[in-house]
Amino acid sequence: MAAITDLKALRERIDALDDQVLQLLSERARCAEQVAHAKLAEDPNAVFYRPEREAQILRRMQTQNLGPLRNEQVSRLYREIISACLALEESMKIAYLGPAGTFTQEATFKHFGNGIATLPVDSIGQVFREVEAGRVRYGVVPIENSTEGMITHTLDMFMQSPLRICGEIMLRINQTLMCKQAEWQQAAKIYSHQQSLAQCRYWLDKNLPHAERIAVSSNAEAARLCALDPESVSIGSQQAASIYGLEVVQHNIEDQPNNTTRFLVIGDQHVSASGKDKTSILVSAPNRPGSLYHLLQPLAENGVDMSRIESRPSRNMNWDYVFFVDVQGHEADANVQQALSILRDDVDLLKVLGSYPVAVM
């Protein structure tokens, strides 16, 4: 009997707390509306989405969090609160590499929350074009996977595109095996995107060694084909399984336990410093001895940490190689600024692709 009374009292306490939480949320939302007016008063073409401020809020809430909710859960709740507040300021539409059910869709909602409208398009190039043409303000594209490396198509797009990087998203990729019927061990075919097939290579060698692996344009397309073909299975996100009415028969079949994909938010915005940022640059270098050393020297001498370097053959005859370099810090930081200005005098081409907050969630 005592337990029932406790339960009743606890639920009354939860109701009272919910009233307070709702009141505070409404107050926060009204503040965000006022922020929008303040931004417009400063500049009629004001940008409402401020990735640096969002990153600061999420980081601050992680520091303030004393539990029992985990930081990851607190971040997810705050992501949705900010997303709903931003939606009061501006209706956001984000293009992503679709169709619905891809990991890029999952990354898009992870970063922007559910207060957005989305435009799934069928190639990385098309995401760039939608943003360049101004049909949407931002787009999301994959850039690298911890198992399979760089997505070179995205790198190549930056050689011609005027767009900038406004943010990064890290998504833990859980590959799911799905099919129309539960006899997955008898499958003759496996549909998936080639990246996913590669991420599950050893698992497939061991568990489905005789099934033919068929690479298709996306994991969502794989799920669609699988739904039409009872002799097949497909690999992709759980979302793809639910969209195409497939049954999930195995979870987490990726070979690497920390299989993660990094995505980029692209737009034409210069993002201010958040206090923990990354800068991506593209530099050309002639194909002669010592040219890479020359390129890295100003970074090292100015204490700029490089977190990634990737080379691509240039498509332009004026130079031989193009390097994509990520450094820690914002382009407005004194040491980054200094290193870039030395580099600029030394190379044929230097393009800052963007400074943006290091992924928080």
Ligand X SMILES: O=C(O)C(=O)C[C@]1(C(=O)O)C=C[C@@H](O)C=C1
Q: By CB under 6 A, name the binding residues for ligand X.
A: 32, 35, 48-50, 53-54, 57, 82, 85-86, 89
Residue 136 C-beta: closest distance to ligand X, Å: 16
β partners of residue 194: none
Residue 57 C-beta: closest distance to ligand X, Å: 6
| Tokens read off for 78 | 């705050």
Give me the sign of the Cα torsion angle 217, 183, 209, 254.
positive
Nearest of 22, 35, 119, 20 to residue 85 by alpha carbon: 35
**Quick one: 78 or 263, whose CB is closer to ligand X?**
78
Residue 83 C-beta: closest distance to ligand X, Å: 8
**Quick one: 50 or 111, whose CB is closer to ligand X?**
50
Q: Which residue is nearest to ligand X (CB)?
A: 85
**Quick one: 136 or 222, whose CB is closer to ligand X?**
136
**Quick one: 48 or 321, whose CB is closer to ligand X?**
48
Q: How far is CA 200 from CA 75, 102, 183, 194, 290, in A?
A: 30, 16, 19, 10, 39
Residue 35 C-beta: closest distance to ligand X, Å: 4
**Quick one: 112 or 263, whose CB is closer to ligand X?**
112
**Quick one: 53 or 153, whose CB is closer to ligand X?**
53
Task: Give phi and psi for 161, each to the nearest 5.
Answer: -85, 140
Nearest of 208, 210, 147 to residue 179 by alpha carbon: 208
Round to whole Å and give the CA distance between 51 and 71: 19
* Secondary structure string (H, E, C) spanning 11-69: HHHHHHHHHHHHHHHHHHHHHHHHHHHHHHHHCCCCCCCCHHHHHHHHHHHHHHCCCCC
**Quick one: 44 or 257, whose CB is closer to ligand X?**
44
Judging by DSSP bridges, how do beta strands 321-328 and 277-285 pair with one another?
antiparallel
Residue 205 C-beta: closest distance to ligand X, Å: 45
**Quick one: 87 or 163, whose CB is closer to ligand X?**
87
Round to whole Å and give the CA distance between 111 and 264: 10
Round to whole Å and give the CA distance between 225 and 234: 8
**Quick one: 82 or 223, whose CB is closer to ligand X?**
82
Residue 40 C-beta: closest distance to ligand X, Å: 11
**Quick one: 233 or 265, whose CB is closer to ligand X?**
265
Round to whole Å and give the CA distance between 111 and 33: 21
Give the DSSP per-residue string, 296-313.
HHHHHHTTPPEEEEEEEE
Residue 211 C-beta: closest distance to ligand X, Å: 46
- Give the number of other Cβ atoms within 10 Å of residue 196's Cβ: 28
Residue 96 C-beta: closest distance to ligand X, Å: 18
Query: In a 3-state reduction of DSSP, which class is residue 143?
Result: strand
Residue 166 C-beta: closest distance to ligand X, Å: 11
Residue 117 C-beta: closest distance to ligand X, Å: 16
C-beta of residue 7 within 8 angstroms of C-beta of residue 61: no
